[in-house]
Amino acid sequence: MSDTTSWDEQDEQAILDAVSAWVEKEVRPIARRHDQADTYPHELVEQMKELGLFGATIGQEYGGLGLSARTYARIVIKVASVWMAPSGIFNSHLIMASAIERCGTEAQKRHWLPKMATGEFRGGIGLTEPNAGTDLQAIRTVARRDGDSYIVNGAKTWITNSMHGHGLLLLVKTDPQAEPRHRGMSMLLAEKGDGFVVANKMSKLGYRAIDTCELVFEDYRVPADCLLGGEEGKGFLQAVGGLELGRINVASRGCGIAAGALELALRYAQERETFGKPIAQHQAIQLKLADMATRVEGARLLIEQAARKYDAHERCDLEASMAKLAGSEAGVFCASEAMRIFGGYSYSTEYEIERYYRDAMLMCIGEGTNEVLRTVIAKQLVERNRI
């Protein structure tokens, strides 16, 4: 997030209104088709460029919009309330951009951020490997220094934006023998080239249409000046240093799914009749709607709280973790309750709700699984409340 933003509340509301109008006009009508066919929504990418979404949180001095985390979270909630998947196209890209803005050298910022802000260069983050997700320090991809470049060998999996994007922020081992392990880890700004192989587009339960791939690196050369921050051994800290914003993002995606599922369920419950009245008038359905709405608003408030603190440069690790937990679990809860409200029709691909159900669980897994997140929250609670 930039410190030099020049937006006031009214401007940010105007941006939100423009995104809402775009989502309703352009995203809603094509979501089901692309999701079912698992085809990439290229047309949305061009529209996102025009809206400035690829530069949403990049500082204005680098050509981005420089939006606050709070406004950005609201944008993500809106997009995900209609179709979560496209939010990944600019979310993962902006996690890469924010790492460059936070940790990059001035030359790296000037080189990468302007073309990322326009969407001319679209990126993502390459952390996970077949043997290492939560335990990132166990990665095996190695970058060996050779003159003025690094030679990368290894494999990554589950990497979003890696087929249609132009490159990645790549977590590698520059010193595989280092102890503790994180001291041997670095991040490379890796533009696609010879030896950067997209081996397989993965077939997924949800979050379909978006390219999530297995990658192989075979003697892939990266110029040495693409080492993030210019210093080896900082990669792990650079990766975890961006977790607050990443968690606010994922929280917003989950909250958006929850809000969208509630909206669909509210409508259906008033249309569908059993025993001579709309099902919204049966108490069993009312209980579900009430619980769903309460989860949505609870998640929204936690996201607002975390984002406000983030924007004020206050510590917000606990708040962002709680927001992520609440937002993602709200998504799963509301999508699942909405399925019950839709009865048999929830299983029909003619209706949208089954997509929300398939998309929701990912938010409990990405950006720190909720199991690990709960342990993080508990540790922070103890730390802040020592007796």
Ligand X SMILES: Cc1cc2nc3c(=O)[nH]c(=O)nc-3n(C[C@H](O)[C@H](O)[C@H](O)COP(=O)(O)OP(=O)(O)OC[C@H]3O[C@@H](n4cnc5c(N)ncnc54)[C@H](O)[C@@H]3O)c2cc1C
Stretch that binds ligand X, among 54-62, 118-126, 261-269, 309-317 (CB under 6 A): 118-126
Binding track over 220-259 against ligand X, x by CB under 6 A: ----------------------------------------
Residue 164 tokens, joined: 């249609």
Residue 361 one-letter amino acid: M
Q: For residue 337, what are its two tokens?
A: 């309750």
Which single residue is written with the structure tokens 């802040």?
384
Nearer to ligand X, 251 or 280 (CB): 251
Cβ distance to ligand X smaller for residue 156 or 288: 156
* Contact characters 32-61, ligand X, x per CB under 6 A: ------------------------------
Q: Contact with ligand X (CB under 6 A): which of 144, 181, 182, 204?
A: 204
For ligand X, the closer of residues 66 and 88 by Cβ is: 88
Which amino acid, 387?
I
> Which residue, 36 or 369, has its beta carbon nearer to ligand X?
369
Q: Is 47 left (phi over 0), alpha (psi -120 to 50) or beta?
A: alpha
Task: Compute how many other C-beta atoms are within 10 angstroms of the C-beta atom of residue 172.
Answer: 28
SS3 386: coil
Closer Cβ to ligand X, 14 or 372, answer by number:
372
DSSP strand pairing (212-223 vs 196-201): antiparallel
Q: What H or E segment, with its residue span, contains residue 155?
A: strand 149-160
∠ at Cα 134 (131, 135), nearest 5°?
65
Q: How far is the CB of 83 from ligand X (least distance, A)?
A: 15
273 binds ligand X per the rule CB under 6 A: no
* Phi, psi of 74, deg, nearest 5: -65, -40
The only residue of 87, 92, 108, 238 in contact with ligand X, by rule CB under 6 A? 92
134 in contact with ligand X (CB under 6 A): yes
Query: Considering only residues 126, 165, 184, 254, which one is a binding residue for ligand X as defined by CB under 6 A?
Result: 126
Tell me which residue has its CB nearest to ligand X: 133
Q: How many residues bind ligand X (CB under 6 A)?
A: 21
Provide, rounded to whole angstroms, the least separation between the CB of residue 365 and ligand X: 5
The binding track of 317-356 with respect to ligand X, each residue x by CB under 6 A or -, is ----------------------------------------
- Which range of residues in 21-29, 74-82, 296-304, 366-374 is near ligand X by CB under 6 A? 366-374
Q: At what angle do helices 85-103 and 28-37 cross, to 10 degrees?
A: 90
Q: Of residues 116, 125, 187, 188, which one binds ligand X by CB under 6 A?
A: 125
| Cα–Cα distance for residue pair 375/254, rounded to 1 Å | 20
Residue 372 touching ligand X (CB under 6 A): yes
Question: In 169-315, where does DSSP find H-type helix?
Answer: 235-241, 243-271, 283-311
Q: Which residues contact 225 (CB under 8 A, 6 or more apart)?
A: 107, 108, 148
Least CB distance to ligand X at residue 42 (A): 19
| C-alpha separations of 331 from 46, 176, 197, 204 in Å | 28, 39, 34, 18
Nearest distance, CB of residue 374 and ligand X, angstroms: 8
Q: Given the structure tokens 């073309």, which residue do they identify?
A: 115
The DSSP secondary-structure symbol of 226 reads G
- Which spans of this chain sit near ligand X (rule: CB under 6 A)? 92, 124-128, 133-134, 158-160, 204, 207, 212, 362, 365-366, 369, 371-372, 375
